[in-house]
């Protein structure tokens, strides 16, 4: 059988002009689409915070602090916020996750041993909330400083989870959220009757132009991004 060769004409190939046109269109589409797919830093900060609030609740439920010491409830796992930070970080909003179990129950994370360890990095979770453990100390999960890493300008609490201006959320062994400083007043009955959150707690992260609100439900402590 005689083989025949297939002939190609110029109609089967791209011209140089067509190739240039495709490249130009692709570049325009990339310039429009790529900025819209970049992560919103405020949203990214909120996702991180939701994960750490849930982690705080998990620690409280698996690490029951009850003992005969009348200060046992002050050792519950908690997440403490500061909206204006400390001088060393330029007064930027931050948070820390800790159990106040060493020393004289100061209400602050006094050392790395009191800090919760971030599950991914193994570093203690604090953004420089106190002068004792700075956000840039070795072994610290410094992204908890939301101002430096995500550009957060302010953190605000709804009235349902404020207790005399304290910006803290603790959890009991049932996973129920508790508002305020669990060491003041230092009587267990006051925590049960006055500090259990009975309405959804809303924590809002404020960036330059955008804000994201996180909700912590009463009783269950279920935490999610609301908007």
pLDDT in tens, 42-77: 999 999 999 999 999 999 999 877 776 667 888 899
Q: Which residues of the chain have pLDDT under 50?
A: 8-10, 36-37, 187
In a domain, 13, yes or no: no
In a domain, 1, yes or no: no
The tokens describing 180, both together, are 């305020």
DSSP letter (8 states) at residue 219: T
By the 8 A CB rule, do 144 and 121 touch?
Answer: no
- Report the pLDDT value the prediction gives residue 14, as an integer from 0 to 100: 60
DSSP letter (8 states) at residue 132: S
Q: What is the model's pTM?
A: 0.79
In a domain, 11, yes or no: no
Range of the domain at 162: 41-225
In a domain, 6, yes or no: no
Give SS3 for 102.
coil
Looking at the 3D structure of the chain, how many domains does it have? 1
- Report the pLDDT value the prediction gives residue 221, as an integer from 0 to 100: 95
Give me the residues paired with residue 95 across strands.
81
- Report the pLDDT value the prediction gives residue 107, as an integer from 0 to 100: 82
| Antiparallel, parallel or unpaired: β 124-125 and 140-141 | parallel
Q: In the β-sheet with 211-216, what is the strand arrangement from edge to edge? A: 154-157, 201-206, 211-216, 223-225
């Amino acid at each position: 059988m005689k083989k025949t060769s297939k002939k190609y004409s110029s109609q089967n190939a791209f011209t140089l002009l067509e190739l240039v046109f495709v490249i130009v269109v692709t570049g325009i589409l990339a310039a429009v689409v790529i900025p819209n797919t970049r992560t919103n830093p405020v949203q990214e900060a909120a996702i991180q915070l939701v994960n750490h609030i849930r982690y705080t609740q998990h620690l409280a439920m698996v690490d029951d602090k009850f003992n005969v010491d009348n200060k046992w409830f002050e050792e519950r796992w908690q997440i403490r916020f500061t909206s204006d930070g400390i001088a060393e970080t330029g007064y930027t909003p931050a948070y820390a996750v800790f159990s106040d179990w060493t020393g004289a129950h100061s209400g602050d994370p006094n050392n790395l041993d009191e800090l919760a360890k971030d599950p991914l990095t193994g570093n203690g979770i604090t953004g420089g909330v106190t002068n004792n453990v700075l956000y840039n100390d070795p072994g610290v999960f410094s992204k908890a400083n939301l101002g430096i890493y995500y550009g957060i300008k302010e953190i605000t609490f709804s009235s349902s989870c404020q207790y005399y201006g304290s910006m803290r959320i603790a959890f009991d062994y049932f996973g129920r959220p508790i508002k305020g400083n669990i060491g003041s007043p230092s009587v267990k009955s006051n925590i049960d009757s006055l500090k259990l959150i009975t309405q959804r707690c809303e924590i809002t992260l404020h960036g330059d132009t955008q804000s994201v609100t996180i909700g912590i439900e009463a009783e269950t402590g279920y935490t999610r991004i609301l908007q």
